[in-house]
Every structure is written in structure tokens, then in C-alpha cells.
Structure 1
Amino acid sequence: MTTVLVCDDQALIRAGLVTIIDAQPDLEVTGECGDGRTAVELARSLRPDVVVMDVRMPVLDGIEATRLLAGADVPEPVTVLVVTTFNLDEYVYRALRAGASGFLLKDAPSAQLLHGIRAVATGGALLDPDVTRELVGKFATRIRPAETTPEVPLTSRELEVLRLIANGLSNREIAEELVLSTETVKTFVSRMLTKLRLRDRVQAVIYAYRHGLVS
């Protein structure tokens, strides 16, 4: 059973998320709240497998709450899936930098939300492909350094997979692009993350642009 904490300041949306999640036999909502400070407190006490976090919330916004729960300096990070109405703005980039393992828009189908929760709960990461492409297009110059890119310890195939991830492709899309099986792609992704000491695909996207591997 995957336990979930739902954090959204709009009671109606929060109730909808709780209903959708609790209806699944393998998912259980163990708590809910409407502000970032309470989200941090509940996450630390309940230790859910996944926190579904809104971005704009009172007292403490979702980005800062995510940083406190999943940031690089957190000893025991909590997995956070950001779900918000906001897309084409800096919130996306800031949320991912804060440590979120995934990002979905609230108008995404219920099945995609449930897939996202399950994906990040098992150590994966989820980026809405459209969000990824917009993120890349808007913030690439900020993420990518001007200096010469250092040598990256990846094979040519692993590097190719990394570039496709950075362009917003899913494992299935990468498999189609490279004419490989999905399982083979998963293996390449796992090796690439291990070699680069990255936690998930979100960090891989940022790494690729920060090191000038895609343009």
C-alpha cells in the first residue's frame, strides 16, 4: 500500500484528489492539508510515501515546503509530486530545483495523476512531456552554463538516452526513437542515473542542460 499526503489550499480540489486516490486499492490517503507549513509538519510526522503538493498555498508556499521536505540537504527526504494549475512560468523550474520528483498539471487525466503517484513512489520520476518541453524552452539558457562542458562519463547510447529524456520523451517514446525495447531503455536510464549520481529523471533534465548536452 502506497501512502499519500494531499496538500492543496482549495478544499474542493483537495477533496477531489483524496477521492480519486483513495478509490485505488493500492493507494491510501493518510492525511490532507491546505497550507505549506502544515504540509511539512504532517509529512515529517506521518512519513507518507508520496506528498501531492500544490504550488501556491498560504503560510508557506509549495516550493518552499518541497525544499524543506525533499531538498538536497534533507537527511531523510520525502518524495514530492507537484500538481498545480500553473505551467508556463518559473514555478515549474523552482519546484524541480527544490527537489520535486515529478510535476503534473491539475487538468491532467486522473489516470495520469495515479500513474505519477505510483511512479515517484517506486523511485521513478514524472514530468508531463509538455511541461518538460516548455521548461526546457524557457529556462535552458539559465540552466546551461556558458563555459565549456566537462567530459561526461557515459557511453554514446547512455548519452543519447539522456538527451532524449531532456527533450521530454518518455521511456516508451525513447524506445520507439532508438528502436529498442522499453526494458532496454529502462536499463540505460538506470545506468545513466547511477553513473552521474542523479536521483531521478528530473535531475537528469537539469544536468543535461546545465552541462550543455542539449540545446
Structure 2
Amino acid sequence: MTLYLPELNSNDTHFPDPSLALTEPNGLLALGGDLSINRLRSAYRHGIFPWFSEGEPILWWSPSPRAVFIPETFSPARSLIKFQRKHAYTVTINHATEQLIELCASSRPEEETWITDEMIEAYQQLAIAGHCHSVEVWQDGTLIGGLYGVSVGKVFCGESMVSTRTNASKIALWYFCQHFLKHGGKLIDCQIMNPHLASLGAIEIPRTEFQDYLLTSRDLTMNKECYTPQPLQLD
């Protein structure tokens, strides 16, 4: 099957309207462009993200439905609460963003990861610019998991999660949901539903509803302390 996609203009950062995304494959919207800070910021402000494999052109997506977490309704499983009481993993925010991104990439088989060297560099630069953030989970001083994503006003667009030891990514999400909510956060985007996200309590909403969240939240300011590097504690 031949697909006809808009190719992005290298001279500006505009995207096609997300409503024009294909239904098969779900959400494919455009190709080309680059992974510059300005283009990535424009993409996330419009509910669009890059997702492609090594050797492919950059592909841009805006699927429907959209998988999200509602921080105020997130509830950790009793087994997770019990596990954390026993193991007492340490959780931080923005202490090791570059390292966490690299861990997300290296923890997957090379043929399965979309976190290419180009993507690693792009999101590390986005972090330096203050738009990409990480939640890290540690055990005995060793980084064992976490998550990272892009802040868009009061929405956090999750990009990847990783665990090298039991429950690390789940604990990162649990702590971040509470921290994000406490500082005024409204919605956590996790892009496309999968069984792992569903098991953690993610729900699906139509793309139009997600876009409405973005429109009303992307220009709002989070509490300035939200992304300050710090240990995360539960209330």
C-alpha cells in the first residue's frame, strides 16, 4: 500500500492539523523535518511526537485514541505500596536526565528501540533547554529505572519508561503523579496504549479531547519548583 504524507518544510516548524493524521497506521501525520528544539516544542504543543526506527525518515504521529494518566485519580496497587515499603527505592527528579535517556535506549534490543542516537541527542538538548525532564529511581546509588518526557504547560508528555530492577518504572510513575499533581499538573500523556500502561491505570481518550487539554493547558505555568532537581517524597 502506498502512503502519501506531507513532507515538512525544513525552513519552518509548522505541522499539518492533527485531524489529518491517518487511521492506518493510526496517527501517522507527516515525515521529514528535523529534531531541533524549536520543532520538537512545536510538535508537542500540538499533540504530535516523533517515532521512527534507525534508517527511516523522521515520522510524526498524533494517534487517536490517546493513552493518558489522570494524576488525581492515579492509585498504586497495594502490592506496589508493599514492595516500596520493603525495598525503599530512592526517587529523584532531574538528577540524571541524560543517563536516564541512555538507559531507556540501552535496555531494549537494538532492533526494537526507536530511541536512536539522533533521538538521544535531541532529547538531551531539549533537557538542557529546560523542556525535557526525568524521574530517576535508585537503589544503593545505582540508577535502576525511571521515565522521561516533555513538559508542555500543565501537561507532561511521557516518552519512555525503563526498569532494570523490579517495579522501578512503576514507582517512578507513582511518585511523579503525586509530585506533578501537587505542583499543578493536569494530565500525563503516554501516547499509545499497551498492556503495561493499562495495568498501571492509563485510560484512552479521543484525540479531540486530548487536543482540548493541550489548548487549555499548554500556556499555563507550573509551579516553578516542580522540575527543580530534588528527591521525591510521598505525602
Shorter-chain-normalised TM-score: which range? under 0.3
Greater share of strand: 2
